[in-house]
Amino acid sequence: MNEIPNCPNCQGENTYFDGSLYVCPDCSHEFNAESAAAETTPDVPRDSNGAELMDGDSVTVIKDLKVKGSSMVIKRGTKVKSIRLTEVPEEVDCKIDGSSIVLKTCFLKK
């Protein structure tokens, strides 16, 4: 039996096949099985502008960020050198002011 894929847009399980495309009733996204398989491949880490990030890159923070569990604030425009990629594509590990911190890539630009 053919298994119907989850929606690549919202990960909804209510998708159905409508002749030539799969349709998600939750978010109204239409897709075909080949594009769904291609979209579920692991992502490469990308910054807020879509540039690919690699180990050792230097990035800049684009927004003031409060650090959880601390009174520290990472100011907009802070340059971060030598980032390290993590297993999660949306996060990078770095050192700021001697503290090891994990930052979301959506708040960084190359």
Burial bucket for residue 103 (CB in 10 Å: 0-12, 13-18, 19+): buried
Domains and CATH numbers, the chain: 1-41 (2.20.25.10), 59-109 (2.30.30.40)
Q: What is the pLDDT of residues 40-58, one digit of tens each?
A: 445 788 888 888 999 999 9
pLDDT at 60 over 70: yes
Q: What is the pLDDT of residues 17-32, one digit of tens each?
A: 888 888 888 888 888 8
**Gap between the Cα atoms of 86 and 92, Å rounded:** 6
**Gap between the Cα atoms of 20 and 108, Å rounded:** 39
- For residue 2, what pLDDT band results from cuts at 50, 70 and 90? low
**Separation in Å, CA 96 to CA 39, 69, 89, 93:** 34, 15, 20, 10
